[in-house]
Structure 1
Amino acid sequence: MNDFDDALRDDGLEDFFAAARANPPQVSADLQARVLADAEAHMPKAARQPWLHALWQLLGGAAGLSGLATAAAVGVWVGVAPPEGMPDLAGQFVSGTWTAETLDTGEADTGTELGGFGWDMEES
């Protein structure tokens, strides 16, 4: 052991820390109120806005929301009434004719693959 290890084991400093932990400093209610009022005065205005306005800004305002609505409408449109080259998955699901097609490629290594949205028939 050296002198440094003996200094670490000295409890003299620990007595001061214990006394400080026994009596923590108290902040007066007046000081705390003034600090919080000052902090609120320095906050940006966006932080005090209602959550709906913050969501509006997050989505990009009118331009962002109109693009989001357009993309959603096109997605529903293509899902319900797909173009001629795509299979009608929504119609199959509603009518109950939904099946998972399997396609045998003839190669022993790959085995059986699931057909993906009918596009595998065009690749043959």
Structure 2
Amino acid sequence: MKMTDFDQDGLEDFFAAARATPPPMPADLQARILADAAAHMPAARPAWHRVLWQLLGGSAGVGGLVTAAVVGVWIGVAPPANLPDLAGQVVAGQMGGTAESEAETELLTSVYGWDMEES
């Protein structure tokens, strides 16, 4: 009998019957496989926004940062009377004018000792 004379249909029926009723896996083998797979799994990493939130100090730290940012923008846009108006100077410098008035020059000279004369 040659290999090519072998009954392919009978062999295929045999494999179909074996696939229809697979042998059950023992419970202890399945438990060992799952435990080994769990040991090789990488640890779950927390989401990046949670890590950032913890690094910034939680709600207290983020609240302080937001407050500092808002106050910084407020002082930058509308400075108190004893601080120079740097935002106005930058805007006036871009428009080609000067932001210093007589009062600003007098204040800076008297309070800080700055000489605002053009050189």
TM bucket, shorter chain:
0.3 to 0.5
User: Which one has a larger percent helix, Structure 1 or Structure 2?
Assistant: 2
Higher relative CO (Cα under 8 Å, sequence separation at least 6) belongs to 1
TM-score scaled by structure 1? Answer: 0.45
TM-score scaled by structure 2? Answer: 0.46
